[in-house]
Amino acid sequence: MSKTAIIFPGQGAQAVGMGQDLAENIPACRDLFTHANEVLGFDLASICFNGPEEDLTKSNHAQPAIFVVSAAAYVALQQAQPDLEPAALAGLSSGEWAALWAAGTVSFEDTLRVLEARGRFMQAACEVNAGGMLSVIGLSLDTLQEIAAACDIQIANLNSPEQTVLSGQVAGIEKAETMAKEAGAKRAIRLNVSGAFHSRLMAPAAAELADFLQEVTLTAPKAPVVSNVKGAPFSSTEEIRELMVRQVTESVRWVEDIQWITAQGTTGFIECGPGKVLSGLVKRIDKQASIHNIQDQASLAKVLEAVNNS
């Protein structure tokens, strides 16, 4: 696993209890949760470890919470395997901020503040513009683009060659669900989300985030960070600032992100953070890829064994 990419999950990966094993057993991970509580001014660690679930799923809690768990997993990996240098980094949606942090582009403190604010701005936009999201499996992108145009909604996530997510107003999502099924989709499922993420309905959140990011210091990443908007690495800090705002309203091009990474000869992936959603998506994009995840001590041990035996 000499060339390894590190990937980070986004909102939706959260689960009550996440990160607790790492925090209880690795002092450096515990310190991250303690510091996060101080930076945010509320007990994020307790929300992660104990819930309740309705608190954890609030966007301004879920986004920083997933980041801290992801950061803890990455710190645990770095501590155990200090010579492992990522060939590239990427994150899905809010997870892209974790990738930028891991690349040294943004501080831990600023990443927390950005994600808490980003979540708050997005939740407010959801309340102003009611919307929804639809996951479709088994239709071509061309067909889905036609459906999206007919329903006045957007492509939100290109998750794998088989799975694409649509986003927009509720009426459009309902119409798209019917059209997708009629077109022969294997599955068309409305997602349990509070709004139309990665669509133009998030424009108010994007505008507020643009203002917020003017006060955030960004430095050049130490390794390539692959942009959700571009499907290729960021080229400058100015572009990072621009594209991280556009990402709120534009499509997440996850398939292209992974294809860019594998085109560089990188075949190993380590998902740092709760769950294994990204691991499953990567396997659907590149069946030859070697994929591991870290979310607790047991999964860390498996990764270390794989790294040391490669």
pLDDT, tens digit (0-9, with 9 covering 90-100), for 226-285: 999 999 999 999 999 999 999 999 999 999 999 999 999 999 999 999 999 999 999 999
Average pLDDT over every residue of 279-295 = 96
Check whether residue 171 and residue 38 sit in a common domain: no
Domain membership flag for residue 256: yes
Check whether residue 114 and residue 210 sit in a common domain: yes
d(CA 140, CA 201): 25
Check whether residue 10 and residue 52 sit in a common domain: yes
- On the CB side of 112, CA atoms within 13 Å amount to 20
Check whether residue 146 and residue 252 sit in a common domain: no
In 3D space, the residue among 202, 140, 136, 204 whose CA is nearest the CA of residue 173 turns out to be 136
Average pLDDT over every residue of 108-125 = 97
User: What domain count does the chain have?
Assistant: 2
Average pLDDT over every residue of 211-229 = 98
Domain membership flag for residue 195: no
> Would you state the pLDDT for residue 307?
84
Catalytic residues: 93, 198
Check whether residue 26 and residue 111 sit in a common domain: yes
Structure tokens at 170: 């509720």
Question: What confidence tier does 178 reach under pLDDT thresholds 50, 70, 90?
Answer: very high
Domain membership flag for residue 214: yes
Question: What confidence tier does 1 reach under pLDDT thresholds 50, 70, 90?
Answer: very low
* β-bridge partners, 135: 165, 189
Strand 4-8 with 268-272, pairing: parallel
Check whether residue 40 and residue 73 sit in a common domain: yes
Check whether residue 159 and residue 286 sit in a common domain: no
Domain membership flag for residue 274: yes
* Residue where a domain stops, chosen among 146, 163, 190: 190
Check whether residue 107 and residue 138 sit in a common domain: no
Structural domain harbouring 147: 130-190
Name the burial class of residue 224, with classes exposed (0-12), middle (13-18) and buried (19+) by CB atoms within 10 angstroms of its CB. Answer: buried
Residue 4 pLDDT greater than 80, yes or no: yes
User: Does this model's pTM top 0.85?
Assistant: yes
Residue 310 pLDDT greater than 80, yes or no: no
Check whether residue 240 and residue 113 sit in a common domain: yes
Question: What confidence tier does 131 reach under pLDDT thresholds 50, 70, 90?
Answer: very high
Average pLDDT over every residue of 206-233 = 98
Per residue in 72-98, pLDDT (tens digit) is: 999 999 999 999 999 999 999 999 999
Share of the chain above pLDDT 70, in %: 99
Check whether residue 207 and residue 181 sit in a common domain: no
* Residue where a domain stops, chosen among 160, 190, 220: 190
Domain membership flag for residue 177: yes
Check whether residue 65 and residue 102 sit in a common domain: yes
Domain membership flag for residue 227: yes
The alpha-helical segments, DSSP class H, found in the chain are: 20-25, 27-40, 44-50, 53-56, 59-80, 95-102, 108-128, 141-151, 170-182, 203-213, 237-246, 254-263, 277-285, 297-309
Q: Is the dihedral of CA 201, 246, 74, 225 positive or negative?
A: positive
* Residue where a domain stops, chosen among 190, 217, 240: 190
d(CA 165, CA 156): 5
Share of the chain above pLDDT 90, in %: 96
Domain membership flag for residue 271: yes
Average pLDDT over every residue of 102-115 = 98
In 3D space, the residue among 174, 162, 68, 64 whose CA is nearest the CA of residue 119 turns out to be 64
In this structure, what CATH number is given to the domain that contains residue 186?
A: 3.30.70.250
Check whether residue 222 and residue 300 sit in a common domain: yes
